[in-house]
Amino acid sequence: MNEVYGFYNEVLSKYDNTIFDLFQNIFELLGLAVNVQNQIFVVHGGLSRYQDITLKEIDELDRKKQEILHPEQYEDIVIFDLLWSDPQKKEGIGGNARGNNCITFGPDVTEMFLKNNNLDILIRSHQVPKTLKGIESHHEGKCITLFSASNYCNKIKNLGAAIIFNQDLTFEVQEYMSPSLEVIRETFEENQKLREKVLHCSKIVELEKNEQKNNNKLSTEGLMNDIINCLSTIICNEKNSLWNNLYKQDKDKKGVVHINIWKEELGKLSKAKKVPWIYLCRKLKMIEDYHVNYNNILSRFKINYAPNEKFLNTEWKNECFEHLYEALLKADLSLRETLMVFDKNLDGKVSFAEFEQVLRDLNIGKIYIYI
């Protein structure tokens, strides 16, 4: 079946027979039907001509078949019906215009199957609804045709649909009309150009901010912050040796030493001379009554690489959105163009994955070191 209707040719145009064989292996693993919470039976075609069949029997079928064009054995006939049958208004089993071996099944067949297997509803596909909508009801609402391929074969002009279930099986139906491949290609190319424009503006914003940061570093406060950061880095790098040296000089072994001992040990770690260690330690609130609790202080100094936790940091989020806003503002896009930057698959919604990708593309995402 996969060699008909273009799938085989599509694979060969992009890959080779090896990939097609892998697809075949995957199809062999796919189930013939799905039982959703023992209430909903989902199948491609419909029900079997053997009306007393159970879910257990269907589950035990050997579904790894190369082809079943002319089924004769019981097992093959059941599989064939599940894939090819369609609902009909009349009761019982009827013929089908699809071919001599194909059948249609009536409302009584649906009723019996659902009752025998303690199910509520049958959902199947296989047919474009006559109303050209994405969904159609049969058999007093107990059999539903759900057709996901909109504009089938690029000429039917039908809607496609999907049913979205919640855990409690409440649901909503979403219908849609997919654009043609030509429109998708044109829109994708436009989307790429817009993203490149925003990326260019994002780099300009980043350069401007870096220039501003460099200017700020010339100030006294900026220099002092750099020194404090340097102190923090030294302590992090030499944390173990610093703790061992302090512990040796801690006579009472209470995790506390005099400030002069602390200052002396810090001085050994730094190559710089005349560093105002006591002032810096006071800035970091390390000193209490001329003593330093080195156990508590050294426990404070940790290097954490947490790309996911950064979203919990309010300051980081503000910087992120500020950068994004400035880049979009500088790009001077229309509302439609701005939405296209985020909605990459053009489904009218911006998923978290799409939004995250924009941040990555614009290089908005850094690993922070929290101390």
For the stretch 322-347, pLDDT in tens is 777 788 887 788 888 888 888 877 77
Closest CA to 345 of 187, 173, 182, 172: 187
pLDDT at 117: 97
More confidently predicted of 135 and 302: 135
The domain at 31-178 falls in which architecture?
Answer: 4-Layer Sandwich (3.60)
pLDDT at 221: 62
**pLDDT cut 70: percent of the chain above it:** 84
pLDDT at 51: 93
Residue range 171-197: mean pLDDT, rounded: 86
pLDDT band at 303 (very low <50, low <70, confident <90, very high): low
More confidently predicted of 333 and 135: 135
pLDDT at 301: 67
Give CA–CA dist 224/279, Å, rounded. Answer: 11
pLDDT of 365 above 60: no
For the stretch 13-50, pLDDT in tens is 999 999 999 998 898 888 999 999 999 999 999 999 99
pLDDT band at 203 (very low <50, low <70, confident <90, very high): confident
Q: Where do the domains of the chain lie?
A: 31-178, 182-212+305-361, 217-300
pLDDT of 312 above 60: no
Residue 301 is classified by DSSP as -
* pTM greater than the 0.75 cutoff: no
Residue range 140-162: mean pLDDT, rounded: 93
DSSP 17-73: HHHHHHHHHHHHHS-SEEEETTTEEEESS---S-TT--HHHHHTS----S--SS--S
Residue range 344-356: mean pLDDT, rounded: 80
Residue burial 223-242, b: 16+ Cβ < 10 Å; e: rest: eeeebeeebbebbeebeeeb
pLDDT at 367: 34
Give CA–CA dist 262/336, Å, rounded. Answer: 61
For the stretch 83-114, pLDDT in tens is 999 999 999 999 999 988 999 999 999 999 99
